[in-house]
Amino acid sequence: MTEMNENPLDILPEILLAAGAVLGLLLGAWLPRSRQWIVGLLAALASTAGIVAAAVAATEPATAAFDGAFAVDPVTGTSRIVILAGGLLVLALSIGPMRADPRESEFYVLLQLTVLGALVLAGAQDLLLLAAGYLLASIPAYTLAGFRKDGPGTEAALKYYVIGALLGVLMLTGITVLYATGRGTGYPMLSTELREAPEALLAAGTLGLLAGLLFKAGAVPAHFWVPDAVQGSTPPVAALLTTLPKIGALAALFRLGAVPLADSPLPWAALIAVLAAASMTLGNLAAFFQSDVKRLLAYSTISQVGYLLMPVAVAVRSDEAQQALLYYLAAYAVTNLGAFAVVCALPRAVNLDDYRGLARQRPLLALSLVICLLGLVGTPPTAVFLGKLEIFTAAVDGGYAWLAVLAAVNTVASLFYYLRWIVPAVSRGEGTVLRDGDGDGTARVVAYAAATASLGLGLAGGPVLAMLSGTLTR
């Protein structure tokens, strides 16, 4: 990248979303309460236009925008599409509960800003931009976690905020140290400078940086906020928190491992492999005996991050790592959102036992739940199965066969707690909660759509996977 590239069209999806947020904020101030849904519509339009723009950009060769600070390559392209599509699903999930809420437009604006933060994380090719993305993805999310202003929501927001602020400071410290070590913050420069950098400084800086990104990804050891934030916030927000920032953070981690730290003396692969192993194992063990569905899903997302970290570990050691990560991200996003959509569709069902008799009352919803949960396990032919196949292959190919074996063992273990949810849902008997409330219709449709997409993405994996390879910008 020798010449300056400041073409704003390269970051059109991000610009659209930012414009949607700002315009929404202004509109929200003038619109009567009964018509604030227009702001939501605006957000949906911005996201849709963003997806189109990202898809168009993905067909063009990889470039780096704004002096190499923002990469426009397959990783960014896929993350953009997945994050924006996930944002649309979350938007659809929130229409029902937010309708005519006094702060409806604020909700949509904050949602867009969080999504924007995730997008910046995914594309950042400069440590300072990464920090900006971190803050942009975090601060609106803290607000969203406590949006309901009730006890659990406040606790969720507080816990989320305190841990986020602490690890954010660590991250900024790490960036400072890396700046000092590598004499720059752009990845292309760092990738050459860090090759001969003093190891202690490099390690300190990288660890600090990791703290922030692992927090956003919800991985061990920065996972303590996940269960409480997910349980305390409303189901749509929980769906958002466990899916979208995670995608941005994992794309950022992958880029970090594949570009600036690729040739560094740090044992990056081993470090990430250990974190992956810890994440999947601890997440699974903690999920075993949860009876609150949101908490169960929260721990399940922690273990899913473990699987997602596997291709990050072998980023430079296996050619298949990139497509494995991107495919699994898409598969995970749609399947996880599907599971949360079922939770949203039945707002009164809190515990596993409340789902008893679901198959009889809402057979399609029960089927979607079974598809999404078995999908999270990795049962063929859902998308996560193909994703798991890809990441296992990448891990074995990259010399981490033990990690693949551990992931397989963990997959079996995870089956246990997903079945604890499936069994009451498909067995006979009457739930106490399902009888009176008939739930949220839009969320039901989202659940059907997500389950169908999860199956469809798995069956049509061929063409999708083919689009995900391609070189990163460096």
Partner 1 sequence: MLTALVFTPTAVALLLLVLPRRTPESVFRIVWVVSTAVLLAFVVGLWAGYDHGGGMQYEVRARWIPSAGVGYHVGVDGLSLPLLAMTCVLFLACAVHSLRQTRRVREFAALFLFLQTTCLGLFVSLDLILFFVFFDLSIVGMYFVIAGWGHQQAARAALMFFLYTFIGSLALLLGFIGLYLAADPHTFDMVELTRQNPLAGRSVYAALVLLAIGIGLAVKTPTVPFHTWLPPAHTEAPAAGSAILAGVLLKMGTYGFLRIAMPMLPDAWRDYALVIVIVGVVSVLYGALVALAQTDFKRMIAYTSVNHMGYIILAVGAAAATADTSEQARSLAVTGAVTQMVSHGLLTGALFLLAGVLYERGRTYDMGAYSGIAAAAPAFTGMTAVAAFASLGLPGFSGFIAEFQIFTGSLGPRPVATSLSLLGILLTAGLFLRALQKMFLGPLRLPDAPGSPRAFPDVRAHESVAVVPLLMLAVVVGVAPRFLLDVIEPASRAVVELLAR
- Which residues contribute to the site for partner 1 (CB under 8 A)? 323, 374, 379-381, 385-386, 389-390, 392-393, 396-397, 401, 404-405, 408-409, 411-412, 415-416, 419, 423, 426-427, 461-462, 465-466, 469
Which is closer to partner 1, CB of 31 or CB of 396?
396
For residues 107 and 392, which CB has a smaller minimum distance to partner 1 in the complex? 392
Question: What gap in Å lies between CA 167 and CA 209, rounded to an integer?
Answer: 9
For partner 1, give the closer residue by CB, 386 or 472. 386
CB of 389 to partner 1, least distance (A): 7
Query: Is residue 235 within 8 Å of residue 294, measured between CB atoms?
Result: yes
Residue 274 makes CB contacts below 8 A (sequence gap 6+) with: none
- CA dist 222 → 207, 315, 410 (Å): 12, 21, 20
Burial bucket for residue 82 (CB in 10 Å: 0-12, 13-18, 19+): buried
What 25-28 contacts at long range (C-beta under 8 Å, 24+ apart), as own/partner pairs, is: 25/105, 25/106, 25/109, 27/105, 28/104, 28/105, 28/106, 28/109
Residue number, 151 or 463, with CB nearest to partner 1? 463
CB 53 within 8 A of CB 12: yes
User: Smallest distance from the beta carbon of 282 to partner 1, in angstroms?
Assistant: 20
Kindly state the smallest distance separating residue 377's Cβ from partner 1, in Å.
Answer: 8
Q: How far is the CB of 361 from partner 1 (least distance, A)?
A: 13
- Which residues make beta-bridge pairs with 70? 65, 124
Closest contact distance (angstroms) between CB of 409 and partner 1 is 8
Give start and end residues of each alpha helix (H) in 31-103. 37-58, 74-98
| Residue placing its CB nearer to partner 1 in the complex, 213 or 374 | 374
With 0-12 CB in 10 A as exposed, 13-18 as middle and 19+ as buried, what is 152?
middle
Minimum separation from the CB atom of position 133 to partner 1 (A)? 30
Q: How far is the CB of 468 from partner 1 (least distance, A)?
A: 8
Q: Which is nearer to partner 1, 31 or 389 (CB)?
A: 389
d(CA 346, CA 91): 17
Which lies closer to partner 1 via its Cβ, residue 22 or residue 409? Answer: 409
